[in-house]
Structures are given as structure tokens and as C-alpha cells.
A = this chain, B = another copy of it.
């Protein structure tokens, strides 16, 4: 399994003054929603603004240091990682993708004028000129399947497993994150040639999506809309040796099928 790369940069505004929470173990947890607009050029060359709202999490002393500053409307830069969580719920397994903060900086945009935010239906301020960039390296969890919207636009969904290594209590731990990546048009058609297990570089935006299931339930998801994809070569020198590397070396000890029976939840697909 390719060594994971997992980064997100966001510039947006804090939508609501947050409240600090503490875990039963006493760890401070601060969650804020950061919101902005992406400016996207459509197929027909029009510029459209697309809103995004992402949940951003900080922990411990860093959270305590920042809680006073992150009031509603504050413009911030977030440098972090996508974080995948999953849990059992009524009706099956659910998952969510949030942003885990490595660093957050309050921005001084006082001289950018009054028109820099737009007020949404709930009265929350959203930054007009948001920044929203995701960079990932991971492995495909399955062969992706090219589909077409009713209007005939090519679209593909890619399940990406991104591993993370970290040291906890002196021993090296490994976690695998599962992200849903979507690509459109020429990029989708190219991606139809990708295969399960292959290493992939993804650059894109983190977007919110919602749809109604066949049973009438409203569902929300957070996914990456790719604007660039690159296939990694399976170089023999990756592990520093020659010949066929052991399975352990290839996968980094993680089975990319693990927990994937329902990722992404195909039955919920909006098209």
C-alpha cells in the first residue's frame, strides 16, 4: 500500500462561536464549522459559486489556546488532514469525513471590504473567496465504474484507502482512512482504466453532498471532487530491493478490503 499523503487547506469563516467539550478522559475537543464558497468553472465556461461547510476538529491544549479566538464570522486558514470515522447505526454502518486540524490561523481580512462574506439562510457568514484544496495519495479500494448522469455527463466514483502511521504510547500505530473521490467528464473517462489496489495521487476540493435514498431518507456525505488524478508507478525500487516484495511490504500490514464491504455505500448512490 502506498504511503498515505493526506492534506487539506481551507480558508473560510467560522460559522458559529463554538463550545468546548471534554471527553470522559478530560481531553479538550473543539469543533467548529468552517464555510466558504468555491468558484468553479462549469463545462459551458460559466463561473459558479458553490458553498461548502466543513467540520474542523482540534484537541487538547491547542483547542484550549484557540477557543477564545474562533468566534462566529472569524476568517481562518486551516491546515489539516481528512479524518474518516465509521460507526454502527440503525439501518447499517455509517461513516463521516471531517477535518482534523494540524494548524489553524486567524486571518486579518479587515481591509478586504464588506462584500467578502455572504450570509446564509441561518444567518451564518460564509467566505466568498474560500480556499479548499485536498491532496491525497492512497490506493483504490475497487475497480471504479464509469457512469453517466441522465444528461449524459461521465462521472466516476473512486474509493480511496489512505493509510496513516503515528506513534501512540511508544508504539507505531496504523489507521486506514476511506475517502470517496469523484471525477467528471474526461477525467472520469481516464479514471475508468484504474484498477483496485493501484496507487493514486488526487488533488481536488472537499465538497458536501446530499440526496434522498429510495426509502425517502435524506443522507449527507463529504467527498473529494477531483480536478487532478495521477497514477503512481509500481516501481521495484519502492521497497529498496529487487524481485517481488513480500505481501506485508506491499500493503504496509493493512488489508485494503478491511471494512470495505459498504464503502462507498453503492445502494445510496444518487445516480
> Assuming A11-B230, A79-B5, A230-B77, is B237 touching A201 (CB within 8 A)?
no
Is A40 an interface position by the 8 A CB rule?
Answer: no
Is A66 an interface position by the 8 A CB rule?
Answer: yes
Establish whether residues B135 and A9, one from each chain, have CB atoms under 8 Å apart when the complex forms.
yes
A222 to B124, CA, bound (A): 42
User: Which of the residues B68, B108, B233 comes within 8 Å of A233, measured between beta carbons?
Assistant: B108
User: Which of the residues B68, B107, B232 comes within 8 Å of A230, measured between beta carbons?
Assistant: B107
Establish whether residues A105 and B237, one from each chain, have CB atoms under 8 Å apart when the complex forms.
no
Q: How far is the CB of A145 from chain B (nearest CB, A)?
A: 18
Contact with B along A107-135 (1 / 0, CB 8 A): 11101000000000000000000010001
| Chain copies in complex | 2
Q: How far is the CB of A73 from chain B (nearest CB, A)?
A: 13
- The closest CB in chain B to the CB of A9 belongs to B135
Is A103 an interface position by the 8 A CB rule?
Answer: yes
Is A235 an interface position by the 8 A CB rule?
Answer: yes
Is A65 an interface position by the 8 A CB rule?
Answer: yes
Establish whether residues A131 and B5, one from each chain, have CB atoms under 8 Å apart when the complex forms.
no
Establish whether residues B135 and A233, one from each chain, have CB atoms under 8 Å apart when the complex forms.
no
Establish whether residues A231 and B107, one from each chain, have CB atoms under 8 Å apart when the complex forms.
yes
Establish whether residues B105 and A201, one from each chain, have CB atoms under 8 Å apart when the complex forms.
yes
Establish whether residues A235 and B106, one from each chain, have CB atoms under 8 Å apart when the complex forms.
yes
Is A181 an interface position by the 8 A CB rule?
Answer: no
A79 to B137, CA, bound (A): 11
A131 to B227, CA, bound (A): 12
A106 to B231, CA, bound (A): 9
Is A3 an interface position by the 8 A CB rule?
Answer: yes
Q: How far is the CB of A182 from chain B (nearest CB, A)?
A: 20
> Assuming A5-B103, A79-B5, A131-B203, is B65 touching A108 (CB within 8 A)?
no
For A68, the chain B residues whose CB sits under 8 A away are 237
- A-B pairs, top 10 by smallest CB distance, nearest first, are A106-B233, A108-B233, A108-B231, A65-B240, A107-B230, A106-B235, A69-B237, A105-B232, A69-B235, A65-B237
